[in-house]
Amino acid sequence: MNAPEVLIRLAKTGDLEAIRQLLSNCQLPTSDLSKGKLECFFVAIQEGKVLGVSGLERSGDEALLRSVAVLPSERGTGLGKRLVFACRELAKAWGLQAIYLIPNDADAHAFFLHLGCTEVSRAVVPEALRILSEFTHLCPQTHPCLRMALSTFQANGPEGYER
C-alpha cells in the first residue's frame, strides 16, 4: 500500500501550534512567530499532520527565508527542498531577485549550500533585513548568513502546492 501524498500548502491559522512545536523540536526560534506571519509560510501536510514548514519574512523589497524545518523521520526525502521551492516561487512572484537566510547548524548550512546558496557577510545583507529579530537577537552573530539568488536556484520544483 502506498503512503498518502504529502501536500505543500500555505499555512493556516490552525497550523500555528503544530508549526511552533516542530520549530521548537528542531531548535529554531518561535518567540516572534504569530498568526499574522503565517500568510507567508508553507506547510507539508500528510493525513492532517505537519511534517515540515518553511516561511518568508518580507521587509520592504527584501525577504528572509526562515523556519525551514522537517521532521527527522522525513529528512532526505526531498521534502525540505520542496518547501524551500515554495518560498522561492512566492519570492519570485513578489519580484525579488534574492532571499537571505541564517542556517542554524552545520547540517542546515550544508543543505542550503547544496541548493546553490552562497555565503555572504552580514554587512552586505540589506538593512531592511538586518533589523529583523532573526538578525538582531534570535540567531547568534556567529551563525553564517547565506544568499539565495532566485534566478540560479537549483531545486527542482514540487509537484505543486495549494494556494
Task: Round to whole Å and give the CA distance between 9 and 138.
Answer: 26
Can you tell me the mean pLDDT for 128-154?
79
Give percent of the chain with pLDDT exceeding 70: 90
Angle at 104 between CA 101 and CA 109, to 5 degrees: 70
Question: In this predicted model, what pLDDT tens digit does every residue of 81-99 receive, in sequence order?
Answer: 999 999 999 999 999 989 9
Question: In this predicted model, what pLDDT tens digit does every residue of 59-73 receive, in sequence order?
Answer: 888 899 999 999 999
* pLDDT at residue 141 in the model: 73
More confident residue, 30 or 83: 83
* Ramachandran region, residue 44 (left: φ > 0; alpha: ψ -120 to 50; beta: rest): beta
Query: Number of H helices and number of E strands within the chain?
Result: 5, 8
Task: Round to whole Å and give the CA distance between 153 and 156.
Answer: 9
* pLDDT at residue 130 in the model: 86
CATH architecture of 7-157: 3-Layer(aba) Sandwich (3.40)
Q: Where are the domains of the chain?
A: 7-157
Helix (H) or strand (E) holding 162: strand 161-162
SS3 call for 130: helix
User: What's the whole-model pTM score?
Assistant: 0.86
